[in-house]
Every structure is written in structure tokens, then in C-alpha cells.
Structure 1
């Protein structure tokens, strides 16, 4: 599409409608845009040109049939896969630690040794980075070669096939053309026993799942609670919603709002800076001429707050007015007064 918009294409040849787009809406939108750009689309199987008078009508009719055919084919394929699952037949042949012969899984002794080593070190309390380094030092490689990653280690530690059994249907495709999603109850799952040789005993696998759950819970970052400011604070330079964070100031926790890029350790990318939450409350009281901040006061007065620099914000009010406020930060920060409020054009 980029090449067409740049004028580099005047004709597109495609095998059939079903190969051009996933559904009727996308097909027609794309063909219409190309037509406006003077680009012709020819569909070989259907013998249709998008520039002819009845081309779009025929496209919409045939595309509907093609879309329905795709759904029907998808349903048949899913039915076949589920019937195989019921018989314990898998559709995943690439599993670290095994070699697929075309009819059965055989243990890959080198990779199986790596799997046992990873489980052993994990249950001994080793962190992922240490396990990766130790695997590299021992000459163990990932499935496609090279070093393991943390994600690869977690997949190995969660792979129930090492016990000789298989949980089938852990992912599913909701509709044709969609990537697989984790199955959390939307589709049936099947547990098949004795599907392949065992590498890890059930007791070791269960212990690893318990340790994984504990480690995940210990490393989880608690979500910041929603406040009256949630969804209303924006980073001006980046044009994204700001996130709430907590910093320490003079031995006390200080909630503040900042650009997500700064929260990910990229302050040089964003020029918006961060604003302490008490400062937002102070400015709200000044604008509303109220001595005390309340959540209702903010909701009734302010639509959004835009952070333009570490010391400058703009308050967009419900009446349409916009006030810009510059302030000082740090140890020598001064209280604000009504004179610090400067009305600007929206």
C-alpha cells in the first residue's frame, strides 16, 4: 500500500479474492483506496477488474462467499484437530528435548540433559540469568541454537510433556487469520497420558510449578490503584497517557505522574518530565478557588492535564478554558498562588 500511495504501482495481479483480504470490509476498503489512487486490481480466478463498472459489485458478492468459505474451512479444520486431541494426537511437533520421527517422539539425549539441568538448578533456587550462563558454559544450546532466554526457560519449566503426558488445546484461533490465543476456557482442552517418553518425573515437574508460582508472585509489580487522576493526565510531547508511579522524597513515598517512556528507563526520549500528585491537587484548588482538594472537585472542574515539561503543565477545564502553570521543584519548591495561573488559548 505504501508503494501504491507513492505512485510506484499501477497494476496488482492476485490469484483470487480469498488471497487478497481476510474479510469483505477490508477487501472493499483496500480496493476502493487503490481505485482512487488509479491502481487496478485484477483477480485471476474470478476474472474481475476493480476498474470496471460492475467490478465492485461482483467483488462484494464473491468476497462474501469467499469469507463464508474461509469460516467453513476453519470450522472443519478445528473439528479435525479436536478429534485428534480426543485421541491424544498432537499438532505440535517441535518440542525441546524430543525429536519427531513423523509418527512418534524420541528423546534427544543432548537436549534432555539440558532440560534436567534447567529443572535441577531452578529448584535449587538459581535465578534465570545464572541458569542461562551455566547452560552456555556447559555447551547447552536452545532449540534453534545459541543461548537460552528467560522466556525459553519458562516455557521449558511449564512444558508438561516432559512428564510423558500432554495437555492438548492450550491455545486456539478465534477466527480465520487470527494468531493463536491462550485458551482460558473458550475452547475444550484434553489431557492425554503416555503420549511420549518421560524426561522429568511428575514430582519434579509439580515442584517446579509451585516454585514458578511463588517466584512469579514475588516478582510481580503491584498495579497502582486507580485514582481520580487516572486517565486524565497526559504527556504532551509524546501524546500518551501518563502513568502513576511512586518515588521517595525525604524518606517518604511521593506519588507522581510521568510519561510511560520515563517509567521504562528512557528519560532522554521524553521531554515531559514528571509531576508530583500533591502539585496537581494544589493547582486544582487554585483554579477552583477552593481551600481543600476533593475527588469531586477535580471531576467537576478538570477534563485533562497535559505535562509539557518537568515544570510546566496545562489544565484543560470543563468550561473550555485552559490554564498553564509553571512551578518549581525539589527542595526549594515554592507554593503556588493565583498569579501563577496563566490562561492560554485551547
Structure 2
């Protein structure tokens, strides 16, 4: 007679005869000093916590700085952690709370399901919730829903606060444009960059277009912000930027209810603050540059005199595209 002996299945998240490879995920939503101190504390806590367990092996710490938790696509470290899980480098994840992991309910459930399918579980410390012990997703759905509502509430309060700062001109520009730096909440001129701004405006007034100005800057090996090459679009945007004459137009962009960023074409109120900071370019020079840019744009448009534009230079209009005829 046949005899069958059942051999119990090992837990999916724990390899046989080996330590559990445990990683931690941390996130702060702003890059302020207080938040970065919090991030440092989280890093130290998790590294010590994981290494103190003899049955665990430290698999790394993943953290995103100054990034909102509303969308997973905007968090590179979270996505890198998921890829490492799929590559079988991580067995278990520890994080502070559901809101630190994801404030979007859909993203939270999607990520948890993805990880559970490959045998990786998450422990949320604040909620004392281990996805490996869940009998259903109901509790996780409820808690992540609360996190999403919390995010929406915070967003509304922040938007209201920023709008008030726009109205009274007290809003601090955290990332000033090329030519300026943020010093104690004030926009201060960076002398060497200011000279480049003056050069760009001077060349514009001499009749050069954005592409010609950009080529000259690249030829002279003048570094752009973040070390990128200069482009025609970058130059035109700078020539159009009212901050160089000392003014600021607040709320050029806005975020919708789905946390997507849009250019403000009248959907939201805008506020114009005159003499907000020290200018690099005089108002007269700035005004002349706007007129030249507008005239050049009109001459290049399809509704303008195409023949006149094509005869501006010796080789203008001599080459046609075989696909579209342009």
C-alpha cells in the first residue's frame, strides 16, 4: 500500500537555509533641512534595526528626497527597489507607514499585489500591518484610502497657503532662474551668470535668433545650468522671463486634482509682482527684446509673408523636405 507524506511548503518570502534579505524604504516629501534630518534618522534607524536581527540580512536602504508620494512614477528609488525585488535581491521590505510608501490608493494596491506575486512582503510599522499575514486587501484598501485623503487635504491646505503668499508677494522662489541664487529666501544676482544673461539680451537686440545665440554659447563652452548644452528653446525662455527685469509672475503653472502639472492659460488666478528683486536687465532692454522676438515669430509663422521670410538670407528657402514640403 502506498504511503504519502506531506512536506509543508516553505514561506514564499524566506529562502531555505538562508537569511531573510530585508530592505527598507524611506521618503520625505520636501528637501527642507528638517525633512532631511528626518530622512537621516530613518536611514540610521532601519540600518541598525535590520542588522540587529541575526535572522535578517541587510539588503539595502532605498529613499527618495524632496519627492511627493502621490505618484510612483516620480520616485526613482521606489522603482529601483521594485526592480531589485523582481531580480530576486530582496525578500522583505520595511517602511514607516502606508503614507510613506504610497498616498495613491491605486498605486499602493498595485505595488503590494505585484510584490506578493513574486513572494515579497511589506511591513508597515505605524499600522503594524504585514502584507504576508493579510487574509484580504480590505484593511489595506481602507488604510491606503485614508492616506490618499490625507494627501488631498494637505494639498488643498498647501495650495491655499501658497495662493495667499502669491497675493501678498511673500512667496519664496525656491529655485530661481539662471543668473540668480536663493540666499535666505531672497533672489540674489550671481555676477558671472548675470554677465551671460546680459550677453544673451545684447545679441538678441543685435538681430540674432535663439539658435544662433545658443550655438555661440556652446562654442564658447559656457556651461548652462546643470551642465546641459544651450538650446534655442532655453534661450527664448530666458528672453521671455520677466524675472530678469526684476518682476515675478506667480502661478505660471498649476497642479490638477490628479496631481498633473499644467501651464496656466487662465484656468487659475495669476499675480504679477513688480520690483520683486534686483533686476539684471533694464525694463527698456527687456521691452525691446520682446518686440523683436514677437516680430521674428510672426515672420516665421505660416500666416506671414512666406516669400519675404524665405528671402531673408542667401540660402533661405532653398531646401525642401521630401516628406512634408516644408
Conserved in 1, the CA contact under 8 Å of 2:166 and 2:250?
yes
Distance (whole Å) between structure 2 residues aligned to residue 134 and residue 7 of structure 1: 50
Aligned to 2:250: 168
Structure in which a larger fraction of residues adopt helix = 2
Counterparts of 2:221 and 2:115 in 1: how far apart (Å)? 54
CA–CA distance in structure 2, aligned partners of residues 217 and 90 of structure 1: 35
Higher strand fraction (1 or 2): 1
Secondary structure at the counterpart of residue 191 of structure 1: strand
Distance 2:221 2:192 in 1: 10
Alignment match, 2:289 = 208
Name the residue aligned to 2:241: 159
4 and 220 in structure 1: CA distance in 2 versus 1, 3 angstrom threshold: farther
* Aligned-partner Cα distance in 2 for 1:19–1:68: 14
Q: Output the CA distance in 1 between the equivalents of 2:87 and 2:219.
A: 51
* Structure 1 Cα separation of the partners of residues 236 and 170 of structure 2: 24
Is residue 122 from structure 1 mapped to residue 204 from structure 2 by the alignment? yes
CA shift, 1:8, in A, is: 3.5
Structure 1 119/8 Cα, relative in aligned 2: closer, same or farther at 3 Å?
Answer: same
Counterpart secondary structure, 2:156: helix
Structure 1 residues 255 and 157: CA distance shift in structure 2, 3 A = closer
Q: TM-score, normalised by structure 1?
A: 0.58
Q: Does 1:86 align with 2:167?
A: yes
SS in 2 for 1:92: coil
Change (3 A) 1:34 1:139: closer
Deviations 1:307-326 (A, max 9, x none): xxxxxxxxxxxxxxxxxxxx
Give the unaligned 5+ runs of structure 1.
223-245, 249-253, 257-346
1:128 Cα offset (Å): 3.0
Query: 1:110 is paired with a residue of what secondary structure?
Result: helix
DSSP 3-state at the match of 1:126? coil
CA drift at 1:61: 0.8
TM-score between both structures, scaled by the size of structure 2: 0.61
- Aligned counterparts of 1:136 and 1:31: Cα–Cα separation in 2: 47
Distance in 2, matches of 1:17 and 1:146, equals 37
Rounded to whole Å, the distance in 2 between the matches of 1:109 and 1:184 is 33
Which residue of the partner structure matches residue 130 of structure 2? 49
Is residue 150 from structure 1 mapped to residue 232 from structure 2 by the alignment? yes
CA shift for structure 1 position 85: 0.7
Residue 188 of structure 1 and its aligned partner are, at CA, apart by: 1.4
On the 8 A contact 1:97/1:115 being kept in 2, the answer is yes
- 2:271 aligned to which of 190, 202, 214: 190
Aligned counterpart for 1:106 among listed residues 174, 183, 188: 188
Residue 23 of structure 1 is matched in structure 2 by 104
Change (3 A) 1:200 1:48: same
Question: Larger radius of gyration, structure 1 or 2?
Answer: 1
- Contact 1:10 1:39 survives alignment (8 Å): yes
Shift of 1:110: 2.5
> How many residue pairs were aligned?
228
Gaps of 5+ in 2: 1-81, 304-319
SS at match of 2:94: strand
Supply the distance in 2 between the matched residues of 1:53 and 1:130 (Cα, whole angstroms): 62
1:5 Cα offset (Å): 3.4
Of the two structures, which has the highest relative contact order with CA contacts closer than 8 Å and spacing of 6 or more?
2
Q: Could you say what the CA RMSD is over the residues aligned between the two structures, in angstroms?
A: 3.0
Separation in structure 2 between the aligned mates of residue 188 and residue 166 of structure 1, nearest angstrom: 14
